[in-house]
Amino acid sequence: MSTVLILGASRGIGHELVRQYRADGWRVIATARKAADCEELKRLGAEAHQLDVTNAEGIAGLGWKLDDEKIDAAWLVAGVYGPDHASFPTEQEFDQVMHTNVLAAMRLLPIVAPLVAATRGKLAVISSRMGSIGERTSNQGSLYRASKAALNSVLADAALTYGPQGATCLSFHPGWVQTDMGGSAATLTVEQSVTALRATLAKAQPSQNGAFLNYDGAQIPW
């Protein structure tokens, strides 16, 4: 049985990843910040661990729990949008967004990537096209944009480190999705986005290690 790890599975894309992988017979290990959400994940058939990705001790504890696991696919989904404005963020706004979207990845990927490399598996982070500098046409949500550009940098470093060890590391734009973050006017349902993300990851080749991809597999400029 193949094993997938989903970090940030309480709702939206992460929750749907759990549902779809379980429906396909995968063993699913998933995390959520709240105990009640962990119970919901267990009802879906996942092995659930409570984790606040901004808590260093919690991340270390997860690393201990995952010791000796062999992970075929891993998804880092946890993230926040923060303020929508393009003006100076407050220190609290900056800390919340950067700690969740960037620092968590810098702490989690060194724990997770070796477990993925052991199976010559695949590791994906949920980024955003808004983090692309090459496609930048708006400064709306500038803090979120900066955080996703930084997340892409973290992923690129992971690809350089763990790609030679066997892990294929990818950054994904999930599309404009009907989640709490994307809103009801978004063009993709969560099910559509996750179905495409899973298919794209499944057919990804080691030669794509370090790529920034749209949910449908199209390349996105950094």
pLDDT at site 102: 98
Q: How sure is the predictor about 96, in pLDDT bands with cuts at 50, 70 and 90?
A: very high
The mean per-residue pLDDT over the stretch 82-95 comes to: 90
Q: How sure is the predictor about 173, in pLDDT bands with cuts at 50, 70 and 90?
A: very high
Taking 90 as the threshold, does the pLDDT of residue 100 lie above it?
yes
pLDDT at site 195: 98
The mean per-residue pLDDT over the stretch 89-100 comes to: 96
The mean per-residue pLDDT over the stretch 97-102 comes to: 98
Structure tokens belonging to residue 181: 């973050």
Instruction: List, in sequence order, the alpha helices (H) in the chain.
Output: 12-23, 35-43, 56-65, 91-98, 104-117, 142-162, 190-203
Q: 96-110, 172-186, 203-217: which range is least confident on average? A: 172-186
* pTM reported for the whole predicted model: 0.95
Structure tokens belonging to residue 92: 């609290």
Rg (CA), the chain: 16
Q: How sure is the predictor about 177, in pLDDT bands with cuts at 50, 70 and 90?
A: confident
Give dist(CA 178, CA 194) in Å, integer: 11
